[in-house]
Amino acid sequence: MTPAIEDFLRANAERFEADLCELLRIPSISADPAYQGDVRRAAEWVAGRLKALGLSVEVIPTSGHPLVYGESPRQEGVPTVLVYGHYDVQPVVPLELWVSPPFEPTRRNGNLYARGATDDKGQMLTHVFGAEAWIATVGRLPVNLKFVIEGEEEIGSSGLHAYLAAHPDRLACDCVVISDGSQFGPGQPAITYGLRGIACFELQLTGPSRDLHSGTFGGSVSNPVNALTRMLAALIDERGKIRLPGFYDDVVPLTAKEREQFASLPFDEKHYLAQIGLSEPFGEEGYTTLERRWARPTFDINGIWGGYQGEGAKTVLPAQAGAKFSFRLVPNQDPNKVAAALESMLRQNCPPGISMKLISHHGSPGVLVSLDSPYIAAAARAISQAFGRPPVFTREGGSIPIVTAFHEVLHADALLIGWGQDDDNTHSPNEKFSLADFHRGIRASAQLWEELAAVSPGNRVASAD
């Protein structure tokens, strides 16, 4: 990184924060159709920033929210890097638990609080500013950059999946850079080599044609809420094992080496639990907390409804019940196979007098990236410089649905370099991003382009499979 770039980053630090605040003020909630116009506005905002860098930019319509695509002028003999990120955010309920309003970015204790601060507007913009620093000072980037910033990550990325399948040449690259995750801890950056996959469902049960008196009818017909709780409870046992037939068949067991490596990380379990108000962990028997989070599948009910929720008691036999739930999957598990096994087990367990409807929302497989690549080494150097400490290699429990498709279609695996922290409250009230991490991320990004430029093009990141 040239001294001019260093100076540029220092001189523009406040403006970077102001720009991030501008984007954070746009409530781009992809899941809620009421915010469709705001999602579009966020796309236009990102497109405007990329245009200002002199990239050729397009806002690409999809079946859902638009993609923002930007490309630097092509130079021969240098690697092409695809930067992926998302400008959509999660819903903000429960609103009353936010200390400051979710779309009024607010600084407190060195953090910026707003929905999307870390996931993923703040992290995504580090690469826009890292590129800007080169263009503004040197006049060009040391690599070819393509940005693809989507608006549907939080709802399964279906528009980007379709675009990638139809236009693989446009997104062709040597590696993909993604900052949409976490460091290992404060002051300890990480390169993530594994993400879990996901399979999301909704189950709707209908019994009698209307709510009934539970004294008159109770005991003589199926109660949909009773049925729902039994059907869901049968999916997991008290030791945290998922009971779907065949569910573990494709799970690649953790190797002794990886278990050792996880165990060698400075993980403070007490602190991990304390920051979420707990003192006891719980999960699949026989595994540590890091193993459970990073390398074992899960079943979680995300929402459940049915029956009377008001004051006092009401003796009712409800007509309907439902739930939303999801499985986190590990690499090699197929979300479609899980869906098929689920449907047949639920049908088998559905009692007489109840009709069930199972909706498969979105699913994506997990990912493992090989660490044995010159791009990973380049990213490690850039991170060491910016954060003052070399990264540790971790897996993460979250999912980024498009990453597997990047590997399969573009034959390019991802450099997953998250700048967030586990306590950033992603998807929760009071989401935040450390401003120090934001600026270190921008520095690491500016350094990364130079480090990646030193890798000969065509040297693709190999898959671990």
Residue 440: C-alpha distances to residues 13, 24, 128, 352, 377 (Å): 11, 19, 14, 60, 18
102-108 contacts, C-beta under 8 A, 24 or more apart: 102/27, 102/429, 102/431, 103/24, 103/25, 103/26, 103/27, 104/25, 105/20, 105/21, 105/24, 105/25, 107/435, 108/432
Q: Is the dihedral of CA 150, 151, 152, 154 positive or negative?
A: positive
From 38, 88, 119, 150, residue interacting with Zn ion (rule: CB under 5 A): 119
Taking the least distance from each CB to ligand BES, the nearer of 362 and 460 is 362
Which of the choices Zn ion, ligand BES, none does residue 71 contact, using the CB cut-off of 5 to 8 A by kind?
Answer: none
Give the nearer residue to ligand BES in terms of CB position, either 142 or 189.
189
Does 291 interact with Zn ion (rule: CB under 5 A)?
no
Closest approach, Cβ 254 to ligand BES, in A, equals 19
Residue nearest to Zn ion (CB): 119
Query: Which residues lie closer than 8 Å to 206 by C-beta, 6 or more apart?
Result: 224, 319, 320, 354, 355, 356, 357
| Among residues 120, 132, 174, 450, the one that binds ligand BES under rule CB under 6 A | 120
Using an 8 Å Cβ cutoff, are 85 and 417 in contact? Answer: no
Position 116 contacts ligand BES (CB under 6 A): no
- Nearest distance from C-beta of residue 426 to Zn ion, angstroms: 5
Q: With 0-12 CB in 10 A as exposed, 13-18 as middle and 19+ as buried, what is 215?
A: exposed
CB of 376 to ligand BES, least distance (A): 17
Helix (H) or strand (E) holding 190: strand 190-195
State the number of binding residues for ligand BES (CB under 6 A). Answer: 15
238 is catalytic: no
Q: Alpha-carbon distance 191 to 396, whole Å?
A: 10
Q: Is 151 in the site for ligand BES (CB under 6 A)?
A: no
The footprint of Zn ion on this chain (CB under 5 A) covers a number of residues equal to 1
What number of helices (H) and strands (E) belong to the chain?
Answer: 13, 18
Q: Considering only residues 386, 401, 417, 451, which one is a binding residue for ligand BES as defined by CB under 6 A?
A: 401
Q: Which entry of 71, 152, 153, 431 is annotated as an active-site residue?
A: 153
CB-side neighbour CA atoms (13 Å) of 385: 17
Select from Zn ion, ligand BES, none the partner in contact with residue 180, using the beta carbon and a kind-dependent cut-off of 5 to 8 Å: ligand BES
| Residue among 249, 226, 240, 224 nearest 285 (CA) | 240
396 binds Zn ion (CB under 5 A): no
Kindly state whether residue 424 participates in binding ligand BES, applying the rule CB under 6 A: no
How many of the other CB atoms lie within 10 Å of CB of 342? 22
The site partner of 30 among Zn ion, ligand BES, none (C-beta below 5 to 8 Å per kind) is: none
Q: How far is the CB of 87 from ligand BES (least distance, A)?
A: 11
Return the number of the residue (57 or 89) whose C-beta is nearest Zn ion: 89
Token code pair at residue 139: 């006049």
Stretch that binds ligand BES, among 178-186, 224-232, 238-246, 336-344 (CB under 6 A): 178-186
- Please indicate whether residue 437 is annotated as part of the active site: no
Catalytic: which of 17, 38, 88, 150?
88
Q: What whole-number distance in Å separates Cα of residue 7 and Cα of residue 20? A: 20
Stretch that binds ligand BES, among 42-50, 75-83, 177-185, 303-311 (CB under 6 A): 177-185
Please tell me whether residue 126 binds ligand BES under the rule CB under 6 A: no
Rama region for 136: left / alpha / beta (φ>0; ψ in -120 to 50; rest): alpha
Residues at the interface with ligand BES (CB under 6 A): 119-120, 153-154, 156, 180-182, 198, 362, 396, 398-401
Active site residues: 88, 153
Residues at the interface with Zn ion (CB under 5 A): 119
